[in-house]
A and B are shown apart, each in its own frame.
Chain A
């Protein structure tokens, strides 16, 4: 699905990502962990095609993104769903209108699809409510339904459970697992909550200071000799 080859991203004097290489197949659930400023958000912006690498190559569905036309990039973006920490719902639109928005932007109207997705995320009864009338967990369900409206190949979740309590976090995790079962979608789950990542992800990208320290399986069997303290910490937590 994605292949990054020695990708770096620089903003003027700042290096946000340095020599990142990994590949992710269709249908995987990948965790991305790291402290603040480690480069997680920049990585997500690259995966979401909002930024282009300063160096290296990014392949999406075997296509070199740097060689795609603007129109092709827009088309690729339509196959990527995004879920944010703060839900990013339009407060002046109803739940139904929020979910229908991605379709409206590409000139499509599919009420049946919207109804189906609202039912899938368990929020049908709030279809005509406004975001201000919803709890955090309900808002994130709406955001997930919205992210699925264009049948994405990729779902990028940026700290999607970080604003939620434990109960709602578990609900969202279960929902993401159901999405993974029912839709052929690759999920990137960026979070600083290792326990949540452990519940959901098959593999975890561990980032620190703009570098990718390693890709760790959910049940790592051994520590490496050259593991940094942070990578070691992640491995130990995932092994518990």
Chain B
């Protein structure tokens, strides 16, 4: 069979794997936004270098985030199987596979958000202080406004990483494009199919990155 015929033959499985990747990415990136952004802001506000911070909270958050990020990912997924089963009721499939992916996404994004917020000029805090703002107002009307393009870029970076992390989720039955490439390409000696899947993933990453860059550029009025 030619490569085209091969692709046509495996197309149903490939489309299924795309949907599985979409499910895992959708869940993990939503969690990333829901939990990672507040966690990143909390990390920033508790940072010992920030005025009025709570270093004790920082050390706890910092430890947890570093722990998650330093864990070898494949072993992290396996270690989490009982937890996944406890929370979701089953440990295998794209939805359960999204749990470890989400935890890593949240940790990565939170750390990136903290770094972006640390780059917001000190003058902005002085202004907020002088206007008698509450902490919530400072976060919403000042920090997030000035850091918005950086946060979009951080989110993009996290999304690109998650595409990569999602490729190994076949180990817990998550499927996805990476799993398709391994099973139908590498293990079935269909090298062409494997490269096809890789090209599709590279295209996905490029689209995510370009979209992120475009939105960040539109939001950034600092120059």
Contact = CB atoms under 8 A, between A and B. Distances in A.
Interface string A69-83: 000011001101010
Contact of B126 (A80, A88, A90, A132): A88
Contacts of B131: 77, 82, 101-102, 105
A227 B133 CA distance: 42
Interface in B108-129: 123-124, 126-127, 129
A77 B142 CA distance: 18
A92 B123 contact: no
Interface stretch (B14-22, B53-61, B165-173, B214-222): B214-222
Nearest to A86: B123
A104 B141 contact: yes
Nearest to B220: A92
Shortest beta-carbon contacts, A-B, top 7: A77-B132, A82-B130, A88-B127, A130-B221, A91-B222, A88-B123, A74-B132
Interface residues of A, number: 24
Interface in A58-99: 73-74, 77-78, 80, 82, 84, 86, 88, 90-93
B127 A92 contact: no
Given A77-B132, A105-B137, A92 B146 contact: yes
Which residue, of B124, B127, B141, B142, has the highest number of chain A Cβ atoms within 10 A?
B127
Given A92-B145, A105-B133, A84 B126 contact: yes
A48 interface: yes
Contacts, number: 55
21 contacts: A49-B132, A50-B129, A50-B130, A73-B132, A77-B131, A78-B132, A80-B130, A82-B130, A84-B123, A84-B127, A90-B145, A91-B221, A91-B222, A92-B148, A92-B221, A93-B145, A101-B131, A101-B141, A105-B131, A132-B221, A132-B222
Interface string B130-153: 111100010001100110110000
Interface in A33-66: 48-50
